[in-house]
A and B are shown apart, each in its own frame.
Chain A
């Protein structure tokens, strides 16, 4: 069900753990393409630190960078995130649906048990 190799999934999750990197992704979600300088502006960290975060995001395949003259533009690459979320959701769907039916089954069994106790 999951197309990405295990190691790629790990890289995606590792990249998403950091709040600064998530903030960068959230901004790229709103704006198609943003320069590195502009991306760094809201953060209280220096440009080299932002560049390191961008390297991590880029290694995970979550962003792409392109250079025009002296400006480096960054944009979102949605596929790896989608794959990672599908992976997580597979488990969530499985258990959520299973526990719904477990609840219905146990509650029916409880009604049978109560009826039996009342008869006794």
Chain B
């Protein structure tokens, strides 16, 4: 299965990071690939509860992601299903993916391990073998200058 893993060290205690991840006020401040605004953030933070976040990118396009909370263990772990939706319709075919976030207390605050799993059946093995910035990226850089 395909997965993307990102680790961040944050100078804030785990409970603050957890709330930033799960409250509408927090989500409104960070969610999205660029500095475009979050238009809507709804969270029903319990196992089986749903979340929905809509944001606008700087290019004007609007995107929405939604899913269900699968594990809620404040302040150490959060897991949720994930789907891109645009106007209520799936933007991308295929199954729901899964987001997992683990928060570990460290001396300076929190180590956050973020995983977006089940993206695609095969690509994960590549990412494990090569890393996301590995040999394939070199090929891509070559391709983009052609």
Interface, chain A (partner B; CB < 8 A): 2, 6, 9-10, 13-14, 16-17, 19, 22, 25-26, 29, 78, 81-82, 84-85, 88, 91-99, 101-107, 109-110, 113
Q: Which residue of A lies closest to B14 (CB)?
A: A106
Q: Dominant SS at the A interface?
A: helix
Interface size on B, residues (CB 8 A): 47
Contact residues in A for B94 (Cβ distance below 8 Å): 6
- A6 touching B93 by the CB < 8 A rule? yes
Which of B93, B136, B143 is the one whose CB lies under 8 Å from A16?
Answer: B136
Q: Which residue of A lies closest to B120 (CB)?
A: A13
- B126 touching A103 by the CB < 8 A rule? no
- B140 touching A81 by the CB < 8 A rule? yes
Which of B2, B30, B146 is the one whose CB lies under 8 Å from A98?
Answer: B30
With A29-B142, A106-B16 in contact, do A101 and B109 touch (Cβ < 8 Å)?
Answer: no
CB distance from B29 to the nearest CB of A (A): 4
CB distance from A83 to the nearest CB of B (A): 10
Q: Dominant SS at the B interface?
A: mixed
- B120 touching A102 by the CB < 8 A rule? no
Question: In chain B, residues 87-146, which have Cβ atoms closer than 8 Å to a Cβ of chain A?
Answer: 92-94, 109-110, 112, 114, 116, 119-123, 125-127, 129, 132, 135-137, 139-140, 142-144, 146
Known contacts A26-B135, A102-B26, A103-B10; 6 further A-B pairs (Cβ under 8 A) = A78-B146, A88-B2, A97-B34, A98-B32, A101-B30, A110-B13
- B121 touching A10 by the CB < 8 A rule? yes
- A97 touching B143 by the CB < 8 A rule? no
A-B contact pairs, 27 of them (CB 8 A): A2-B92, A13-B2, A13-B120, A16-B123, A16-B136, A17-B122, A17-B125, A85-B136, A85-B137, A88-B2, A88-B123, A95-B114, A95-B116, A96-B6, A99-B6, A99-B30, A101-B30, A102-B26, A102-B30, A106-B10, A106-B12, A106-B17, A106-B26, A106-B110, A109-B19, A110-B11, A110-B16
